[in-house]
């Protein structure tokens, strides 16, 4: 019955070693989002896809990139993880953008540890 | 720029108490407001979404209200239970930001048996 699935749930990587986090959805939603959440802080939007249209937030570091090969899947690539990138990464979806149908549904998150 | 504030940052209550969590936002031009629950180390679970034209939404023991003109929302939890212990986050989708959500930093709720 899972609607937004993230894999893996826990990821350990070494400083500077590229890592990819995965998100899939069974809702057939047009929009997919990636957030970073550090301990006791609000989630911070990194970027989102509206269908195939990629929208980067102005303050998202170049170290973070994303791919959406099809409607169901979206990947977060961290090219050279630093200690400051250790966080929970949350994927979310919404049917659409704008005033209606933009309710966001979140996955369980991937906890990234950087050694 | 939209800013969202949640007060208090932490709240501890005995089981059975009714309680209110507060959320305020600076820009009243919003599409909607969502309340989420987050358990430790987990993702966000959507509890209630209130459209800008609505005054309140109810789901079970939860009732969320919205006063757009004053930039406030409250989440009322009736007859609290230990299983309600979690962090509660509110987030607004503003007219100027499309579908982007601006989150508050949450209220950490502990319900003691």
Q: Is the dihedral of CA B47, B63, B80, B103 positive or negative?
A: positive
Please answer yes or no on whether A6 and B43 come within 8 Å at the CB atom: yes
pLDDT at B97 over 90: no
B57 contacts B8 by C-beta, under 8 angstroms:
no
C-alpha span between A42 and A54 (Å, rounded): 23
| CB within 8 Å: B44 and A42 | no
Which pLDDT value is given to residue A1?
64
Give the residue from B100, B80, B96, B97 showing the smallest Cα distance to B37: B80
Residues B47 and B5: their CA atoms lie apart, in Å, by: 18
Which pLDDT does position B72 carry in this prediction? 97
Residues A58-96: tens digit of each pLDDT: 899 999 999 999 999 999 999 999 999 999 999 999 998
Tell me whether A97 touches chain B (CB under 8 Å): yes
CA-to-CA distance for B82 and B113, rounded, in angstroms?
Answer: 6
Q: Which residue of B has its CA nearest to A107?
A: B43
A20: contact with B, CB 8 A cutoff: no
Please, which pLDDT band fits residue B41 given cuts at 50, 70 and 90?
confident
How high is the pLDDT of residue B82? 97
Which residues in chain B have Cβ-Cβ distances shorter than 8 Å to A43?
44, 89, 101, 103
Smallest CA-to-CA distance from A32 within A101, A99, A105 is with: A105
Distance CA A23, CA A4 (A): 7
Percent of chain A with pLDDT over 90: 88
Tokens 């007219």 locate to B95
Contact A106 B45 (CB under 8 A): yes
The token duo for B69 is: 């003109």
Q: Which residue of B has its CA nearest to A43?
A: B103
Give yes or no for A40 touching B (CB within 8 A).
yes
- Would you state the pLDDT for residue A101? 74
Q: Does A83 touch chain B if contact means CB atoms closer than 8 Å? A: no
Highest-scoring range by mean pLDDT, A94-98, B22-26, B30-34: B22-26
> On the CB side of A86, how many CA atoms lie within 13 Å of its CA?
10
pLDDT tens-place string over residues B55-91: 999 999 999 999 999 999 999 999 999 999 999 999 9
Return the biggest CA–CA distance within chain A.
42
A75 touches chain B (CB under 8 A): no
CB pairs under 8 A between A and B: 62
Region of residue A98 (phi > 0: left; psi between -120 and 50: alpha; otherwise: beta): left
pLDDT tens for A8-46 read: 999 999 999 999 999 999 999 999 999 999 988 999 999
Nearest-CA distance A90 → chain B (Å): 7
């Amino acid at each position: 019955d899972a609607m937004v699935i993230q894999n893996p749930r826990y990821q350990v990587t070494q400083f500077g070693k590229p890592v990819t986090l995965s998100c899939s959805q069974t809702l057939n939603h047009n929009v997919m989002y990636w957030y970073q959440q550090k301990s006791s802080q609000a989630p911070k939007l990194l970027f989102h896809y509206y269908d195939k249209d990629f929208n980067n937030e102005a303050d998202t570091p170049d170290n973070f990139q994303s791919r959406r090969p099809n409607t169901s899947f979206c990947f977060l690539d961290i090219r050279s993880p630093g200690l400051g990138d250790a966080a929970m990464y949350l994927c979310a979806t919404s049917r659409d953008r704008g005033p209606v149908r933009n309710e966001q549904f979140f996955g369980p998150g991937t906890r990234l540890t950087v050694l | 720029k939209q800013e969202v504030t949640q007060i208090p940052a932490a709240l501890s209550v005995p089981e059975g108490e009714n309680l209110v969590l507060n959320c305020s936002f600076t820009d009243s031009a919003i599409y909607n407001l969502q309340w989420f629950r987050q358990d430790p180390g987990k993702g966000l679970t959507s509890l209630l979404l209130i459209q800008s034209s609505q005054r309140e939404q109810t789901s079970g023991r939860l009732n969320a209200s919205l006063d757009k003109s004053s930039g406030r929302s409250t989440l009322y939890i009736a007859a609290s239970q230990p299983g309600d212990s979690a962090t509660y986050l509110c987030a607004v989708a503003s007219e100027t930001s499309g579908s982007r959500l601006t989150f508050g930093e949450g209220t950490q709720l502990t319900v003691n048996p």
